[in-house]
């Protein structure tokens, strides 16, 4: 069970994250459902419910991340930390492909996160394709 998060802290997190999933960058307004508050270092591993350890994530990314903090880089097979949206810049670890539907990992951390969180699963890539068709995707990562 996750800890209670006060409304003021929820608003701060929404502002911090720009109303986007910290991993796949999906916007809450496009998802049609609110983003979840994610413990970057999971409670089950001793992570605290404090602003510095919380971020927004879509249901899919949060579910696939679970209580993991590391995964294997598919290129090297080495275990590496997963992307940390509060401490790391998205554009340093990921980029969009030419169609704006696939997230490409640029670093061991990025590649491991793409695979572990299934960030290019068939459902979200099809959804991103529709978002792109109406000019709502991909987000500007600058």
Of all helices (H) and strands (E), which one includes residue 83?
Answer: none
Question: How many C-beta neighbours within 10 Å does residue 92 have?
Answer: 13
Mean pLDDT of the chain: 94
pLDDT in tens, 95-128: 999 999 999 999 999 999 999 999 999 999 999 9
What integer pLDDT is reported at residue 26 of this predicted model?
A: 93
- 47-63 average pLDDT score: 96
Answer positive or negative: Cα dihedral of 45, 47, 86, 129. positive
* C-alpha to C-alpha distance for 85 and 78, rounded to whole angstroms: 21
> pLDDT at residue 142 above 90?
no
Rg (CA), the chain: 15
* C-alpha to C-alpha distance for 57 and 83, rounded to whole angstroms: 12
DSSP for 123-141, written as a single string: HHHHHHHHHHHTT--SPP-
> pLDDT at residue 32 above 90?
no
């Amino acid at each position: 069970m996750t800890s209670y998060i006060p409304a003021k802290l929820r608003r701060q997190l929404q502002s911090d994250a720009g109303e986007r999933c910290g991993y796949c960058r999906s916007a809450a307004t496009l998802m049609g459902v609110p983003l979840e508050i994610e413990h970057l270092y999971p409670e089950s591993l001793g992570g605290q419910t404090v602003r510095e350890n919380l971020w927004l994530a879509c249901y899919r990314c949060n579910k696939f991340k679970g209580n993991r903090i590391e995964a294997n880089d598919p290129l090297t097979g080495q275990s590496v930390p997963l992307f940390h949206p509060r401490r790391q810049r998205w554009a340093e670890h990921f980029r969009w492909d030419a169609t704006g539907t696939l997230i490409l990992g640029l670093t061991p951390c990025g590649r491991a996160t793409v695979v572990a969180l299934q960030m290019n699963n068939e459902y979200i890539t099809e959804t991103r394709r529709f978002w792109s068709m109406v000019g709502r995707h991909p987000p500007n990562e600058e």
